[in-house]
Amino acid sequence: MTNGPSLMEDFKPFEILPGNHDSGMVILGDHAMNRLPEGYGKLGLPETAFARHIAYDIGIEGLVRSLSARLGVPAVLGGFSRLLIDPNRGEDDPTLIMKISDGAIIPGNHPISSVEWQNRIERFHRPYHDAVAAEIAKVASATGKAPLVLSLHSYTPAWKGVPRPWHAAVLWDSDHRAVGPLLDMLRRDPDLIVGDNEPYDGALKGDTMYRHCMVSGIPHALLEVRQDLIGDEAGIAGWAARLAPVFEAMNADPALHEYQVHPSRTGPYT
């Protein structure tokens, strides 16, 4: 594959799910899809790679769609595979375009020219974030208050052969306002094991929550659900039914609609 392939005119780097902007809430799904634009082929990978976590967050597209419809709130879905470029990384992050992911070498990403690196930012990464910023701004304008922003992801049941016991996890940096209520309500279910910044830490400078919420003082939380629990329609429906009243209760709290900038725990890139 050559750098800078032609792109489908109708390829959309994001999808906006309609909802009431005066609802006060926005839901995000950075890694919802495993799509690639025409001209990139499969980045030199087998088709089976695009059914794996390295390509997208399994179950998240369906979960976001269901929650957006149930709650009547707008949502933004990433429209491209993270193998192309990762929307949950800052533009200066060296892992923005991965050469190796979970042991899989990505031929279409190595070597990659600086021109093609910038092309992917401008054609896919930046338009997605522009869409996120626009939806958040519409909700803020409609309500005159800070929106509640909830980002949904999923993670693998095991990592390097080690099982992950958590059914879900809440990731965060230093703003605990939405995180605390979310953890508390999820942990009321005795059948759930809920991680607090596990299986990994949520402080990542330049990521979606940092870019759109941390620096502007918007209450937010990133929720991860284990993939085997939302790998089919029944699992997605069950988790949507579980999360909808939790999100609704959080959104009804006036304290979660105030702007308040919190210093990040993350430092400069190294």
The pLDDT tens digits for 201-245 are 999 999 999 999 999 999 999 999 999 999 999 999 999 999 999
DSSP string, the chain: --SS----TT--SEEEEP--GGG-EEEEETT------TTSTTTT--GGGGGSTTTS-TTHHHHHHHHHHHHT--EEEE-S-TTT--TTS-TT-TTSS-SEETTEE-GGGSS--HHHHHHHIIIIIHHHHHHHHHHHHHHHHHHSSPPEEEEEEEE-SEETTEE---SEEEE-SS--TTHHHHHHHHHTSTT--EEES-SS----TTSHHHHHTGGGT--EEEEEEEGGGSSSHHHHHHHHHHHHHHHHHHHT-GGGGS------S-----
Would you state the CATH architecture of domain 14-257? Answer: 3-Layer(aba) Sandwich (3.40)
Q: How confident is the model at residue 268 (pLDDT cuts 50, 70, 90)?
A: very low
Query: What is the C-alpha to C-alpha distance for residues 36 and 43, in angstroms, rounded to an integer?
Result: 9
Q: What's the confidence (pLDDT) of residue 104?
A: 76
- Examine the pLDDT at 154 and tell me if it is beyond 80: yes
- Domain residue ranges of the chain, discontinuous segments joined by +: 14-257
Q: What's the confidence (pLDDT) of residue 102?
A: 77
8 Å CB contact between 39 and 3: no
The mean pLDDT of 178-197, rounded to a whole number, is 98
pLDDT digits (tens, 9 = 90+) for 114-150: 999 999 999 999 999 999 999 999 999 999 999 999 9
pLDDT digits (tens, 9 = 90+) for 37-76: 999 999 999 999 999 999 999 999 999 999 999 999 999 9
Compute and round to an integer the Cα radius of gyration of the chain.
Answer: 18
